[in-house]
Structure 1
Amino acid sequence: MKKLYGLLLSTLFCATASAAELPEKPQDYARGVMLDVPQPASWYRVDLPQEVYAHSAWPDLRDVRVFNHDGERVPFALETQNTKTVAPEAVPLRVFPLDATPVSGAAQQENIVRLQAPSGVEIRIEGDASKPVGKSYLLVLPPDLPDTFRLGEIKLGWQESSQNWRSRASVLVSHDMRSWDTLLDDAPVMALASGNDKLKLDRIQLPERQLPDGGRYLLLVFDTPDLPVTLTEAMAMPGREPAPLEKIQMAGNGRQVSPTEAQYQWPQPQPFRSLSVEFHEDVVLPVEIAIRRTATSAWQPLTKTVLWQRNGQRSVAVELAGETVQAVRITTLDARLPNLLPQVYGSRDRLALVFNAQGKEPFILAWGNKAAQPAAVTPDTLIPQELRKQLDPTSIPDALPGDKVTLGGEARMTATPLTEQEGKWKRLLVWGVLVLGVAVLAWMAIRIWREAQSR
């Protein structure tokens, strides 16, 4: 019996140890592509294809690997290609309310509108007969702004009102308050409340471009004559410089659940940095957005905002902090969804993979293995600091993804991680020891009983 007990322990131990020592191979991964290398080199860089992000079994891409011709895994590092951006500083604007004054004669025929401030400042602009001119404000930029200032948006402030209201505003710019150029037409501005829920759209996003020389004056013209609120402040927000290759956009698969609800889902959970919505037509849509971490987890509220698209401009993306998201739900507030379902895009950091070309070509980029553990090394480990001083990182040649190859198939997307396998072996070991112990006790009891009966 003791020999049987020892044999059971040694068998389970050897099985667990052998499972842990098995080297990885390409067939452990669901998918792969061949990598075309242009010339012999010690290291190569590959910009990960979008399919890797969409069908990796892990949001952090821990199941990405590179194998050589002999099926051996080669060392590699993952590098985030995002560029750090400095948060823009708001620039306060001087705000002057203006009153529209009716004109007559030739000026009326030419649709000229006279706007006058209590201080005596008078502005004449050419209006559009089909567009009413309502409450207006003169916004003045400070004189010490640098010449490179790029106006990205205007943030408005007003005292809250119990009355719901919506309006549209146009923004014009001038250097002398005589000649005006239009920056943006019909930007939505609103404040809505329902019970304890409040929704405010107080930012006007502008096309990012440098202001005309000396363009210090902005004219904000609402199309509503009697706004229930009065502007108390305005801030100019500089635009952000675009960072090339910093993000990858991934479209969600959308479906309309009801006239007021649409849901979007991605094949795998993704660590998104932002969510953006693209409409097929001009629209202004107050909505509530919720997210789901996995395909089956509970919905979690994210934000209430106004999604809009007008004249080639659209609402800014909803920022995230890299939370894992697999599904998004959009529910309209006091409105219906457009006839054509909008498209939702998730944005995540773009990654590049740098690998050490050990062994023979060709190399295979593989991904899709739920059982995989993190294997990427740090960039300093892959390329030592002493070599980095001699090596220009931009000189590392690119390996280009080529033909797709089928490896272990979809079954690898749900493979059991080694830690869980070891846990199962340990549970089997415990149960085996318990069952064996019970058997030993039963055998000893029967033996004692037989000895007692024979006396």
Structure 2
Amino acid sequence: MGKLSLSGLAVWLVCSAAYAQEGPADFTTHVPLTVSGSGPWYRLELPLAVQLSARQADLSDVRVFNAAGEPQAYALSRQSAQRSESRNVADVKWFALYAADTREALPDVVMKSTAEGTLLEVRPSTSGKQVLRGWVLDASAIKAPLQQLSLDWSRERDGFQRFSIEASDDLQHWASWGDGQVARLSFAEERVEQHDVSLPGQSARYLRLVWQGQEAPQLTSAKLTSATSSRLPAPLMWSQPLAGTPLKAGEYSWQLPTGLNVERLRIDLKQPNTLAPVSLSGRREAGQAWQPLSNGLLYRLTQNGQDVVQDELQLPGQTVAELKLQVDERGGGLGVEAPALRFAVRATQLVFLTRGEPPFTLAVGNASVKAANLPLSTLIPDASAERLKTLGTAALAGEVMVKPPAVAASPAVGTDWKKLGLWAVLLLGVAALGAMAYSLLRKPMARP
């Protein structure tokens, strides 16, 4: 029992000290939150002002507290580029392909189509007995890549149906798309049917299906599934214009409010017919060497009475607090005054699990605390994009006051009574542990 009590006391002391070190008062900025919808999880889109209030570029100093000042479990999710796909199923026309027998590699046919590519008919080139060898499918009305072929055929032809698949845009030149197989099987009053064949995801106006070594069945239905995908860029949050400082001819610098993972910049090009080859450098702290970040060509040109503008630079997303732009003045430069600059950072979502009583408060601004966020899959065991959309939402109930970095980084004046108190608790705990150990050692050992 003595050993168990000592271990428990030690764990209690360490945990008490760890939790006592972090509370709402340890952060420079506090904003009340309002929650709506179904809990206990809520999601909050962090405004840019919150990121500017942070003292750590990865937002490790963001916290959510309840009314009692207790921290809430949370996760951070930086929103990334998303892909969307739309699928469409279309019925298509089919035209029979005939040959003299089933051993010919390809049927000899004459095809007729319109100038737009729509197939009108397929005629055998020779007379005499003809065997149905396959089908031509007209996909000329489908502009998206073809993903799947679905066939149905007459009930008289059960079993496996194997065929080659070829694609063409002009009915003259054919490219192999591999082989396909469909089936309709019956066994012991059970029926198994397979109607679908995967396609390589390419576009084609026509498909040719040729049965090898057997006569083709009569088709009753032919469908083609096409899909188009689009890539949505990662959502960004843009800052207000930031004034810069001219360093020398063709060179300007800007000081960011804090270290940020900047994704993109936008330079204000006021004068028409501006052409400026530029290179951009950045650094995290004054005195450090400048690191190259990006280069490009900025311009604002007038063509046919309209402005054609390219005023953005893509950045690698690394942390910077100061930026320097160097302009090749052979293009005319950007003027004596430094142009205004806007920067963009990746949109970030905070998801937290409510515990305790509201109101809840968002706190940020501490350069020394360690990250406390959980993986999203840990915070929400069944997390998914669809699941996140059903969560309740949180919103800021007040303005975020952005404080200069010097205010957050300056040490507190006077004696840190809180830190001294923590040390006193730890020392008293160690003394108690020593006293308990000494008393146990002095007890006479029980004789058998």
Bigger share in strand: 2
- With the length of structure 1 as denominator, give the TM-score of the two structures: 0.49
Q: TM-score, normalised by structure 2?
A: 0.50
Q: Find the structure with the greater CA-based Rg.
A: 2
